Amino acid sequence: MIRIYLLFLLFFCCSIAARADAPANDTLVTDFDHLPTAVDLRTYLLTLVDKEASLTPQQAASASFNHNYSLFHVEKKHIGKGNNCWLKLHVRNTGSQDSTLTLFAGWHDYMSWYIQDSGNHHLRAIMHTGLMRDKSDVRRWEHYGFRVTVPPGHTHTYFLHINNKYYNENGLMPVLYNALQYGQFRNAQFEYYRKETILIHVLLGMLLVCLAIAVINYIQLPDKSYMYFAAYMLGLILFFTLRLESQPYQLSVFYRWPMLKYYWDIPALLFCFYLMYLAFGNTFLNLQERYPFMEKLFTSVAAVIGGIIIICFYCIALEQYQVPVMIYSYVYISTLLPFLVVFVALARRSRHHPLVRFFLFGSLCFYMASFGSFLMLIRPLGLINALGEISAPSLLIVAGVLLQSMFFLAGLSYRNKLVHHERTRTQELLIKQLNKNKELQRKLNEQLEELVKEQTTEILRKKQELEEQRKAHLETEYDKKLTEIELKAIRAQINPHFIFNCLNSIQLFVMQRDFEYAQKYLSDFSYLIRKTLDFSRRNFISLSDEIAYLNTYLGLEKMRFENKMEYEIYVDPDITASELEVPAMLLQPYVENAVKYGMTNSSYPIGKLLIKFNQAAPDMLECLIEDNGIGIIRSKTLRTLPKHHQSSGMEISFNRAELLNKMYNTGIHIDIIDKSENNNTESGTIVRILIPQL
């Protein structure tokens, strides 16, 4: 009996000693040298939910923890207003060597890793990371494995603080790996997310092509439809690019601005699929003229959506992330039936308006794709989560977006074709009106020619009267003064044909709404008038001024002939144009005559004019004006005026040359040569003017 009591007492003492040496139930006891397959830590972790987000690390160390398995989940989960929790882990190393394990609990917004000192029980921070905290590039995905280092035979306590403020939380499943297992896990995650990343890149490439086409067409044809479509494409590109931000181990673009993926999540869906969609449909279908009631409906709904987007931005700024997804769920569900009614109404009008078909087919493609994706996500994620992931880059959504973009682009191309036909018809009407204006111009030119002829005859008559009245002893002095007056009068004459043609050209550019050409034409014309008035007060001007004057005049004529003429002014390099002087405006009538008859040669579609200045002798300047027109002989045969008629401008210039010879003994010589006289295969005229240097 005594032996039985002694044995019972020995067994009781041994059990007490064994309990004193055994670890607690919440302690992970493992051999770090021979860690089994990845250890699920849910049964070893104690949890503490900090709903008020007010606990400091030291307060959390002394707080009460318990087991809460509902806190953990494998897939993404809708958590409403966020999740702020602490995880506590006791680890004991029963191995014989120092080893380091890695704890992985998922990818979250804010994560802090602490170790509890064995002496004072204070928490010491080891690592801080998180999607909203770590702004490095693709290397940031390597910062979510927390090192667990425990010497042999020791026990350490670690704390993990996780704070997610967004309404959707990534998987929270704590697992302990050794180095080899963690590397395998990382490679598996990289391959898993790379497939979705490739799909996003393909979608972004297609969207960029659509955006480029829209921008190019908008530059060629400024139309609001292209602008709204480009904004729609740009919003989608930014949205799906930000989707790369949540793909682990994949390089993203906006990693330096982590909040951007939250600001352009629900607001992006409202902006692209509602605001820009309604604005594009309004302008593309021209609802204001065709369907006024539908235009008011689209405008009103777009204004409401714009206000909702602002509200969503405000809620995100206040970190109330669950409010925008609730708003979007109401908007999406409440617009399903109205959109269907609009599609039916547009389908009934598609026979009368071909553009409706493109808009309707594109809308239906994305409508069915998004609704199908929504139905497929309801069962695994639930209603709210499905609405939050309705635009996830699945194959169905990608196909819907691409088909919608293609139909919209095809509709815009067809709309461009209609606009082109309308412009062609308008241009034909303008051409008819232009022909009428040319006939009117011809009649006015005839009247102006008669008026100029009468004025010239009157001047010559008065000259003769004045010469007869002068006395013999003052004849030389009076002749000289009279000659100076005549020169000023002749230089002051501006060819009325040219003025009228210039004004008609300006009027034509204004009628064609080519305000840039009209402004340039008017600027050059005013410069030419000013120079004409300036040169009329001088007998001689520098050769450089004469060349600048001719350049301006020929530029106006080239614009008037719609670039059907080419000209070149060549100056011998040995000539110093700024030092040589020539009679003011002596060459312009011959250049004008070359333009008038040199541009009417049917054998050459483009009239060519060459003006050359050569140093014929040390004191002699040679000027050649050569054109490829019909030639002076043929122009005389085609001329309806009497044979003795000569161009008034050329006659005036010839008279001026004689007067200058008389006044200054200059010896100016003018020859007019028909090129066909020397070679029957050539046509055109050469005017050769020799100007001695005083």
Q: Does residue 148 sit in helix, strand or coil?
A: strand
- Tokens 């930014």 correspond to 238
Provide the pLDDT for residue 348.
Answer: 80
Average pLDDT for 390-411:
79
Residue span(s) of the chain under CATH 3.30.565.10 come to: 470-692
Q: What is the pTM of this model?
A: 0.55
Q: Reply yes or no on whether the pLDDT at 545 is more than 50.
A: yes
Contact assessment for residue 233 and residue 277, using Cβ atoms and an 8 Å cutoff: no
The first and second tokens of residue 640, run together, are 């309806």
Predicted pLDDT of residue 571: 92
Q: Is a pLDDT exceeding 50 seen at residue 23?
A: no
pLDDT per residue over 457-496, tens digit each? Answer: 888 888 888 877 766 555 666 566 656 655 555 554 555 6
**What is the average pLDDT value for the chain, to the nearest integer?**
80
Q: In what order do the strands lie in the sheet with 620-627?
A: 565-571, 607-617, 620-627, 685-692, 669-674
Residue 460: both structure tokens together = 């010559």
Domain with CATH 1.20.1070 in the chain: 191-419
Q: Is the pLDDT of residue 132 over 50?
A: yes
Q: Is the pLDDT of residue 210 over 80?
A: yes
Residue 513 vs residues 187, 379, 516, 520: alpha-carbon distances, Å? 64, 61, 9, 13
Answer for the pair 535, 527: CB distance below 8 angstroms, yes or no.
no
Q: What angle do CA 316, 320, 321 make, to 5 degrees?
A: 70
Report pLDDT for 402: 86
Query: Residue-wise over 616-644: b if at least 16 C-beta within 10 A, else e?
Result: eeeeebbbbbbbbbbbbebbeeeeeeeee
SS (H, E, C) 537-549: CCCEEEHHHHHHH
Whether pLDDT at 169 is above 80: yes
Strands 99-104 and 175-177 come out as antiparallel
H or E element that contains 230: helix 224-243
Which one of 8-22, 357-371, 595-609 scores highest in mean pLDDT?
A: 357-371
Question: pLDDT (tens digit, 9 = 90+) per residue, 437-463?
Answer: 888 888 888 888 888 888 888 888 888
Determine the Cα–Cα distance for residues 308 and 170; give it in Å rounded to an integer. 27
Share of the chain above pLDDT 90, in %: 13
> Between the CA atoms of 473, 479, 480 and 482, what dihedral angle is there, to the nearest 10 degrees?
130
Q: Is the pLDDT of residue 537 over 80?
A: no
- Label residue 106 left, alpha or beta by phi (over 0 means left) and psi (-120 to 50 means alpha): left
Has residue 113 got a pLDDT over 50?
yes
Picking from 417, 397, 412, the residue whose alpha carbon sits closest to that of residue 229 is 412
| Contact present, 225 and 217 (Cβ < 8 Å) | no
- In one-letter notation, the amino acid at residue 120 is N
HSE, CB side, 13 Å, CA atoms: give it for residue 269.
23
- The residue whose two tokens read 């670039």 is 563
Say if residues 463 and 489 touch (Cβ distance below 8 Å).
no
Q: What is the pLDDT of residue 13?
A: 39
Residue 622: pLDDT band with limits 50, 70, 90:
very high
Pairwise CA distance, residues 607 & 567, whole Å: 8
Q: Which helix (H) or strand (E) holds 374?
A: helix 354-381
Q: In terms of pLDDT, which residue wins out, 342 or 661?
A: 342
Query: Mean per-residue pLDDT for 160-172?
Result: 87
Fold of 23-177: Immunoglobulin-like (2.60.40)
CATH 2.60.40.2380 occupies which residues in the chain? Answer: 23-177
**Element containing residue 625 per DSSP (H, E):** strand 620-627
Assign 3-state DSSP to the chain and report helix, strand, coil percentages, each to 5: 60, 15, 25
Confidence of residue 393 (pLDDT cuts 50, 70, 90): low
Helix (H) or strand (E) holding 127: strand 123-129
In sequence order, what are the beta bridge partners of 404? none
More confident site: 298 or 559: 298
Query: Which CATH entry fits the domain spanning 470-692: 3.30.300.30, 3.30.565.10, 3.40.50.720, 2.40.110.10?
Result: 3.30.565.10
Looking at domain 191-419, which of 3.90.105, 1.20.140, 1.20.1070, 1.10.10 is its CATH number? 1.20.1070
Rounded to whole angstroms, how far apart are CA atoms 39 and 30? Answer: 10
